[in-house]
Amino acid sequence: MAQPVSNNSDFITLLGIETSCDDTAAAIVRAPLEASAGAGDGEILANIIYNQFADHSAYGGVVPEIAARAHVERIDHIIEQALAQSGCVLSQIDGIAVTAGPGLIGGVMVGLTTAKAMALSHSMALIPVNHLEAHGLTARMVAALDFPYLLLLVSGGHTQLLWVEGVGRYRRLGTTIDDAVGEAFDKTAQLLGLPNPGGPHLERLAKEGDATRFAMPRPLLKRAGCDFSFSGLKTATRHLLDEENVRAADIAACFQAAASAHLTARTERAMALCETFEGSRGEGIASPHLVVAGGVAANETIRDALGGLCHQRGWEMFVPEAKLCTDNGAMIAWTGIEYWRAGMVPDANDALAMQARPRWPLDNNPEGPRHGGGKKGPKV
């Protein structure tokens, strides 16, 4: 590891680049060299995101080849926009943090190659970032949050429960054995004929429905541990659509309620486990903390259910604002800042040798369910 020198004796300013799926994103984030006590101290100077919904709408999901081409076409312009919005020039940027995985390999390669070229040509520090870790650390950019804490990561490609002990230190407690929750939302929405991205449309439709109209399955009730399963809920939706006189709003409401209940039940199991860990309540912290991150964290039903669970068990919940829950460059830049402060910036040769990784488990366990580090595709 190396400890690069900042251009400013008091602050670090990093460019963050994110291209792991269908968002081309770049951001500039600044923070004090020394962490400020008692507050999230990251300042987002720019956060530019170009989403490719229109490019993939005809296919029912993200097509990797189309996504990679779109990243190539737009990444330079997105970086230029971020620099212009921040008011910074490249000479004021201390380094580049970039998603190196997990994700769609073509997209990850575009962002990583761009970052390597910029770092090499401008003699900047380069910090390859795990996309999952960036989601997990985002809350620390904007809120007073000390380690350790429980992380529920819920997105289109990932559903995991992790005990976060520090930067680069994670213990995976549970993951999905089939579909990720966001993927299940999107593909259920597709079955209901809703536009892409389906999750937000399904949530809006569910507000018009009766969440008690149909009895949806309760996954893994008799299975020990904290793993998840959502494929059965998607199958139940398909079967309901074969019946007569069913309202799409009722199906959406029942699916959402069942998915929320499943997430809450497995999270409660993880909470009970974490309460047995040494230091789980922290020094001087009145209650343990649950961080919910990823695009699905924006779902109000799920947030309310998890908030109620935290209140019941005496935990405190942190959820970043919606625009920081979905994929973005600010979370990548912030993770780079966390590594910089921890003295864990890789040597230039090691960083430049880093390869794009389609799978990159946070707990360094290469085994596990196929959705432990993947991204969603178009098939239902």
333 part of a folded domain: yes
Based on the fold, state whether residues 18 and 51 are members of the same structural domain: yes
Contacts within 8 Å (CB) and 24+ apart, 88-93: 88/13, 88/28, 88/45, 90/118, 90/122, 90/124, 91/7, 92/7, 92/13, 93/7, 93/13, 93/14, 93/15, 93/28, 93/122, 93/124
Based on the fold, state whether residues 29 and 97 are members of the same structural domain: yes
28 part of a folded domain: yes
Dihedral of the CA atoms 116, 121, 125, 131 (nearest 10)? -20
Give the containing element (helix H, strand E) for 291. Answer: strand 289-293
Name which of 157, 230, 241 is nearest 191 in CA terms.
241
Structure-token pair, residue 269: 């199991």
Domain housing 276? 147-319
Q: Note down pLDDT in tens along the chain; length 380 residues.
A: 656 766 767 899 999 999 998 899 999 999 999 877 556 889 999 999 998 777 777 676 788 888 899 999 999 999 999 999 999 999 999 999 999 999 999 999 999 999 999 999 999 999 999 999 999 999 999 998 999 999 999 988 899 999 999 999 999 999 999 999 999 999 999 999 998 889 999 999 999 999 999 999 999 988 999 999 999 999 999 999 998 889 999 999 999 999 999 999 999 999 999 998 866 554 444 569 999 999 899 999 999 999 999 999 999 999 999 899 999 999 999 999 999 999 999 999 999 999 999 999 888 544 333 333 444 433 33
Name which of 161, 164, 156 is nearest 198 in CA terms.
156
Q: How does pLDDT run across 117-156, given as a tens digit for each residue?
A: 999 999 999 999 999 999 999 999 999 899 999 999 998 8
pTM: 0.90
- The number of domains in the chain is 2
213 part of a folded domain: yes
Based on the fold, state whether residues 308 and 340 are members of the same structural domain: no
Q: How does pLDDT run across 298-342, given as a tens digit for each residue?
A: 999 999 999 999 999 999 999 999 899 999 999 999 999 999 999
Based on the fold, state whether residues 229 and 132 are members of the same structural domain: no
Alpha helices in 92-244 (DSSP H): 105-122, 131-142, 181-191, 198-206, 231-240
Based on the fold, state whether residues 289 and 313 are members of the same structural domain: yes
CATH code of 218's domain: 3.30.420.40
Structure-token pair, residue 134: 């960036």
Q: ∠121-123-129 over CA atoms, to 5°?
A: 95
Based on the fold, state whether residues 34 and 172 are members of the same structural domain: no
260 part of a folded domain: yes
Based on the fold, state whether residues 263 and 334 are members of the same structural domain: no
